Structure 1
């Protein structure tokens, strides 16, 4: 009992100390940030979020750690658990860091080469990596009892980043060309069509060497998983056909809808969230590389409008604020999956979204990673955060979960999958860097054309 009490006191002391230090830093940073231009603020948040994948990366593999908690009294907590999807976002974050000269190009090439070598030796299951990997050993860390094998969706998020790295360095010096070649080999080794479970016309999320297909999760739209079908269609050696996309992802075209919200068409039936469109990461994860501008297919006339409307519906919902949470406004909004505040004040996890899971908690990545779709609204959030709510910002940028409603509550914690979308999506708004890299890959253009996508901007018709 005494030991437990001592640990509890230490935890409280550490948290209070962290918050006091943060408060002191905030008052100084507030005056420094208040006169920054929009471009300077975007530089600031992009370089801050980069630190998660540069300064706080897992120390052996250099991949993105699943989580990082500033309030941990034990610094080794989850230190070596890396996440494949979040690491894919981290690869793109590092590219932005190089392009904006936040980090030295040569050092980035060395680190990315190390990452490629680690991924080559890490556990793979018919080419797909698991959701979690031990950064020291390269062995799978089970995400759940039966989730101890290949995770095709996380692999797709990772490969989206791998393709961008290949494209960025493929015409560079000899060391950079070698890096590009390593990345090329990695992505071409994923056996996408094997995940059709014996030739069914749908992709499956998981396969385990112990439990085989028992997870039984077919990938059907619409949610964050579109990129998985794009990657599978684009594979030179393990490709899927049009019918797998059409019958699997679009449910034979039955996933479309005429429903609107706030006068805005939703276009597709967002899984289990048909009224509002679900958490905002659905408009972000597949679109760090996949360019929604001028993108269409047989069922969706404009992926840009689909994503922009999704974000605007979330924004308008926060302004409507049906639960009357304190703080929601045109400069403090955005609901997506991440850490949350439980009723007892402890930290939990929730897929924050309008009505269904709205607990008065705003996740900064929601608005910040929506910058391409809603620049005015997202910039207002960014400025509010960095000039009026510095206590919501830590060592690696905005914390994962915040709430003005609960007396400026925040959790001094980060998740790779949330922090990793901030820098790339803001860069896509600013220059289109990741969109142009990904869409420049010849296999991607071929794959998109195969499953019926069009984009005049990227010569896909």
Structure 2
């Protein structure tokens, strides 16, 4: 019997998934619907975490964790807030040109931390809104308004403006009128952004912009197979929390006889192999203890358990095998990897929970830990915060493994289908869906 068929395993996963969802009940503002970036007191809202929360509500309804009417009301509260929030080029607005600032005051929605108008974080917010709208398809006044507002928010995003005259989308903008110098070029979480930008019915970008994005992809050959490299795990996972890439391929993937789903399977295997090799000699690393991604950690030089001094990187997008590695791991990696390598990820999860039991508090996992640092137990240093992005990713990826719910919803959303088609994707479910419309 395989690991994922055991009743006790499913019960454990269900508890972790439900606890992750409850982050969005506990750390959101009831008046604005905004979701806190982290569980730390005083944390501002992250618009990306808010988007993950919107996509998590359909899962919670289907699992019986929240009443449909309550979930719809919470989603509607959030969408009403963004629809009514002020758009303008001054620093005190909530957004501009249909995009929103990365971090907002939880209650007022004012820009905080001098954050940028973020194209990728707005994409995650809009993806969540569209997913919720696809699920709440009832005839009630509340669900009808919810769908109307989700469409309004998506359609007012000016993706063409975000090109700023270039061939790829900029990472953002700052008031009173300065675009960030960096652009989304080469494999990244912005795969989701490009799908939404191409699918827009109002101010879309064009297929050549996607071609310019993919032209900078870094391809490696590993054991005779082509691999699209990105060191940090979240880069592979964020777009696939929403989109089922099994057997659908753009030109680059067709030319190399692979797809983004299989590419992520290879990325997980590479991370596990790096942990097993453990070239830097960090504590605990093995094939069942891995997870190199963006997370917080202490910053500066620290003495490790074995007496060595190690420079820790603070908040950093860690990655493997060709990325930053300071001994800090994300414990949520096995949960988020379940759709891709279920047996390996379940084995890793139960190794993690048995070897490092203090990581699990109220059935939730923290943003990161470093077992090489001294501590009260084998866990070493543990982040004292929960991170909204992590919790939402866990909810969605577990559900895509269990039922495919989120993938099923987005397969029916015109914006996703149109965006994928304009990007040159074909095959699999996309071809059969396009034949029906």
TM over 0.5, shorter chain: yes
1:260 to 221, 240, 264: 221
Who is 1:379 aligned against?
346
In 1: Cα distance, 2:237 partner to 2:224 partner: 19
Unpaired segments ≥5 residues, structure 2: 1-5, 86-93, 304-311
- Runs of 4+ in structure 1 deviating by more than 6 angstroms, as ranges, are none
Task: Tell whether the 8 Å contact from 1:231 to 1:447 is kept in structure 2 after alignment.
Answer: yes
Q: How does 1:189-208 map to 2 (within 5 A)?
A: 189-198=156-165, 200-208=166-174
1:352 is the counterpart of 2:312: no
Deviations 1:352-391 (A, max 9, x none): 2125321222201222211111111211222234444331
Task: Tell whether the 8 Å contact from 2:164 to 2:170 is kept in structure 1 after alignment.
Answer: yes
Q: CA deviation at 1:266?
A: 4.8
Q: CA deviation at 1:441?
A: 0.6
In 2: Cα distance, 1:119 partner to 1:397 partner: 29
Deviations 1:43-80 (A, max 9, x none): 011011112111222354232201113xxxxxx432xx
In 2: Cα distance, 1:241 partner to 1:105 partner: 38
Deviations 1:18-65 (A, max 9, x none): xxxxxxxxxxxxxxxxx9622111101101111211122235423220
In 1: Cα distance, 2:176 partner to 2:361 partner: 41
In 2: Cα distance, 1:385 partner to 1:57 partner: 29
The change in CA–CA distance for 1:378 and 1:165 in structure 2 (over 3 A counts) is same
Who is 2:307 aligned against?
none
In 2: Cα distance, 1:311 partner to 1:42 partner: 19
Q: How does 1:148-297 map to 2 (within 5 A)?
A: 150-171=117-138, 173-198=140-165, 200-213=166-179, 215-247=180-212, 249-251=213-215, 254-255=216-217, 257=219, 259-261=220-222, 263=223, 265-268=225-228, 270=229, 277-297=230-250
Who is 1:413 aligned against?
385
Task: Tell whether the 8 Å contact from 1:339 to 1:400 is kept in structure 2 after alignment.
Answer: yes
Deviations 1:62-99 (A, max 9, x none): 32201113xxxxxx432xx1011121112122221111
Who is 1:340 aligned against?
297
In 2: Cα distance, 1:356 partner to 1:243 partner: 30
SS at match of 2:78: helix
Who is 1:82 aligned against?
45
Who is 1:118 aligned against?
81
Q: CA deviation at 1:453?
A: 0.8
Who is 1:308 aligned against?
265
Deviations 1:91-132 (A, max 9, x none): 122221111111222111111111111111232210111111
Deviations 1:129-157 (A, max 9, x none): 1111112112222454xx3xx21111111
1:135 to 96, 106, 124: 106
In 2: Cα distance, 1:386 partner to 1:104 partner: 31
Task: Tell whether the 8 Å contact from 1:131 to 1:143 is kept in structure 2 after alignment.
Answer: no
In 2: Cα distance, 1:114 partner to 1:292 partner: 31
Who is 1:43 aligned against?
14
Q: CA deviation at 1:331?
A: 2.7
TM-score with structure 2 setting the length:
0.86
1:105 is the counterpart of 2:68: yes
In 2: Cα distance, 1:425 partner to 1:104 partner: 21
SS at match of 1:255: coil
Deviations 1:134-193 (A, max 9, x none): 12112222454xx3xx21111111111111101001245442222222212211111111
Task: Say how many residue pairs are matched.
Answer: 401
In 1: Cα distance, 2:144 partner to 2:177 partner: 39
In 2: Cα distance, 1:447 partner to 1:358 partner: 35
Deviations 1:370-418 (A, max 9, x none): 1111111211222234444331022471011123333422122122222
Once superposed, what is the RMSD of the aligned Cα atoms? 2.1
Q: CA deviation at 1:234?
A: 0.4
Task: Tell whether the 8 Å contact from 2:29 to 2:106 is kept in structure 1 after alignment.
Answer: yes
